Chain A
Amino acid sequence: MYALIQEHGLDDYYRLKDRRGVPAPQRGEAGRFDFLNQPEVLRQWADYVDPGRVRVTMRLPAIHCIACLWLLENLGRLHPGILTSRVEFARKELSVDFDPAKLSCSQLASLLVSLGYEPDLRFSDAAARKTSTKPSSLLMRLGLAGFAFGNTMLFSLAAYLGLDSFSGPAFQQLTGWISLALSVPVVTYAAEDYWRSAWNGWRQRVMNIDIPIVAGLAALWLQSTYEWFSRTGEGYFDSLAGLVFFLLCGRWFQKRTYDRIHFDQDYRSFFPMSVSRCGPSESRIALSEVRVGDRLKIRNGEMIPCDGLLLSNAAHIDYSFVTGESEPQRKDWGAWLFAGGKLAGSAIEVECAKPVSESYLTSLWNHETFAKVKHARLNPITDAYSRRFTRLVLTLALVTAACWAPFSPAMAVKAFVSVLIVACPCALALAAPFVFGTAVRALHARGWHLKNGTVLESLALIDSLVFDKTGTLTATGVSPVRWIGPPLTRDESQRIRSLAEQSLHPLSIQITRFLANDSEPVILGNYREIQGCGIEGTVDALPVALGSRRWIMDALTRERSASLAAMNEVGGSSLDHEVHVLMGGAYRGAFVMEAHRAPGLQDLFRRLEPRYALGLLSGDQDRERELFARLLGPRAELRFSQSPFDKLEFIASWHQLGRKVLFAGDGLNDAGALKQAEVGLAVTQESGAFCPASDMIADRRQLQHLDHLLTFARQSIRIIRQAFAISALYNAVVIAIAASGQLSPVVCAILMPLSSITVAAFAASRTAWAAKIIPEATEIGKAGVETPLLNPLRA
């Protein structure tokens, strides 16, 4: 790699690169990217294809510093076929224009791999990019509203100050025409989304916040136009433009999302883009090309992409991601393999028996839960308030009109329209966007990534928490083993190992590994495994037992052994796995294995237990039931050996009890439950891991602050209510003025922006302050920087 860079005069790369953080990846076998050259894959993949120029965009998770940027943007000097290359840092994406005659797509990918930037090629990304719309239209609407607001305000200010007394009615005429002309695109184009949403709400008989907004807008515009043409006043064009401008500001503030976090991944982003097919000559083919009957070669660490038959002698498959079971399973020749397993060990051959899209794993996505849209309404709390608000305003307007009618019909109409105009729930509509926008940003900085602000509203209502075990509360993998008790002699450890070797229980396997140095197994007799208790047997004429605390203790009590006292002194923390050893009828000591748990769980559950209904769902066997019963408290519901569908049904059954459920899970096996729950929290363990579709993503180490997050969510909803109160106060004052028929454009022009700004400033600052109860992700945040999911600069 150094030679390649040096040769092309790019040695500045090393000057810039202050730390060599990118580990060189293992070299892929030749031809790994060949499938990219196939015309139809290329068509699917490339942004733009032309005989002389092809543009592809790919994600390079290894991009992490300014030197990466520099090297990748100077790719053109490494190969003449590369015309331009451009990095989008926040998304870790590289767009390359190259000449297909000089450089093939697979060569480009290999070049990037040789530089240490392994492209992350996934179909769903390519498909998503093609369909994603540009968010720029909101900016254009905002610009238009701002432009109109500034100009009309300028003219109106002059009019309010009495400028027309100098220049006569001609000036007023001119500015009036301009204001009217500017207001038309503001009402039609800039406020288009509000019209659309109000119309949808009207059709579905849902009173959303946009209906009173649109009513206010229409009243403002019609009244102003009428005043202008009837020469009875200057109209409220400035307030109108200001109103739309502030509304759009709120929307923009809320919408500035972190689109580099992918919330809607499904199984396709989990699978590789290509697999190698065995045949006369081994070749890489795209996943969509795999047909039933194909023989596929799977290498160590690769994913099995479809259900099929194992055509190799023996294999260990890690299904932890699909089932939650943490130990790899051994499969023999001819065994049926499910898609989604990861191979651990030497390469195998698999005969595809079902198309990729029909495998057991992907069938989860065909469940009805995935078909329905989760949030029918966008802002339930705001909508609930706006319903009451609209009714109140309409009543007030009618009452006012009715009061005026006997005295002066003209005054009645004026008062009616005035109330509609000033009561426009601008501040109401601004409160939620500013609270949510600030909250999402503050949480992002603290390691919680929300899909959107509405998740906060759902979070505030949560009263039940359900957790997945493997990958969420615990990590997969080997934990360190400790021996507590008088040191074992060589003979003793040999006996224990001989016994432990017989069992396939994960704890036995770990003990066997721990004692692996003292080899030479001894002859064993009377071997017995008692489910949930332990194992015993006679090793070299000496009875040995390994087992749980209670089992060994019972044995000791039965025999009234003197070593019972010695046993009571031994023990790790209450949450560790313990395997106690009985040798020749006497207590010998214990192996203690710390489970890899997310930190701070014990404290977290102690805080959560009194307030929430807790549940645990695991695909694992129930060998850890006792441990988790202690951890989650006596009221928690624990379910083991759960299939992905069981998990989904469990959440649905809690729904029927009227509970609002948050489900925290990690793997594909949780995808259904994540979708079914009110809030699906995807917990990631390592950088760049796959997260199934969810509402929220968090690092596993942040899980200990979950209760603070829930408190914050409730607080932010309270802040919205307080902002509503402020807006109601303003409205009360202005409606009083309007009802008396004394509303003038000046009062309107001052009070409307003032109330908007007060509410927005209150909402944003109060939320930022409230977010402080969630501990800053100090070390965690820094670790998060390295994950390709996150933006390294803003985190």
Chain B
Amino acid sequence: MSVLLFLIPLSVLFAAGFFAAFLWSVKSGQYRDTVTPPLRVLLEETNVPKRKQEKSSSSRRQPQT
């Protein structure tokens, strides 16, 4: 059971990593507007031809899928 002594701090470190990711997402403003992004995803996947997406000057902020 002594392996727990190693595994438990490791698990806390892992969790801390996720916590840091959460902090980053809050700080970068991802929770500020929760209405528009879902709509944006709908639009770009279903309605805009690919060609336009590449040319678009606004492609910088589109999700890189």
Contact = CB atoms under 8 A, between A and B. Distances in A.
Contact of B58 (A66, A84, A150): A84
Interface in B45-65: 47-48, 52, 55-58, 60-61
Nearest to B52: A9
Contacts of B29: 134, 136
Contact of B5 (A73, A76, A170): A170
Interface in A464-504: none
Contacts, number: 94
A793 B8 CA distance: 45
Contacts of A90: 33-36
Nearest to A73: B58
A428 to B, nearest CB: 29
Interface string A143-163: 110010011000100000000
Given A69-B36, A89-B36, A136-B32, A82 B57 contact: yes
Nearest to B30: A136
Interface stretch (A171-179, A232-240, A770-778): A171-179
A69 B52 CA distance: 16
Interface string A50-91: 000000000000000010011001101100001111111111
B13 to A, nearest CB: 11
Nearest to A93: B33
A791 B35 contact: yes
A392 interface: no
B33 A139 contact: no
B26 A139 contact: yes
A480 B61 CA distance: 54
A54 to B, nearest CB: 16
A85 B12 contact: no
Given A82-B57, A85-B58, A86-B61, A134 B32 contact: yes
B39 A66 contact: yes
A150 B12 CA distance: 10
A757 interface: no
A175 B43 contact: no
A388 interface: no
B43 A87 contact: no
A167 interface: yes
Interface residues of B, number: 34
B47 A16 contact: yes
Contact of B57 (A9, A76, A140): A76
Contact of A143 (B1, B8, B26): B26
Nearest to A89: B36
A2 interface: no
Interface string A329-370: 000000000000000000000000000000000000000000
Contact of A89 (B1, B12, B32, B33): B33
B48 to A, nearest CB: 7
B36 A151 contact: no
Contacts of B2: 167, 170
Given A143-B19, A150-B15, A88 B26 contact: no
B12 A151 contact: yes
Given A147-B19, A175-B8, A793 B35 contact: yes
A91 B60 CA distance: 23
A144 B22 CA distance: 9
A407 interface: no
Given A84-B58, A90-B36, A170-B5, A70 B47 contact: yes
A558 interface: no
A459 to B, nearest CB: 29
Nearest to B31: A139
Given A74-B56, A151-B12, A155-B8, 17 more contacts: A16-B43, A66-B39, A69-B40, A69-B43, A76-B56, A76-B58, A77-B56, A82-B57, A84-B58, A84-B60, A89-B39, A90-B34, A139-B26, A140-B23, A143-B23, A171-B4, A794-B35
Interface of B: 1-2, 4-5, 8-9, 12, 15-16, 19, 22-23, 26-27, 29, 31-36, 39-40, 42-43, 47-48, 52, 55-58, 60-61
Closest 9 CB pairs of A and B: A76-B57, A89-B36, A90-B35, A167-B1, A147-B19, A89-B35, A143-B22, A136-B26, A88-B33
11 contacts: A12-B48, A15-B47, A70-B43, A73-B40, A90-B34, A90-B35, A136-B27, A143-B22, A151-B15, A171-B5, A174-B9
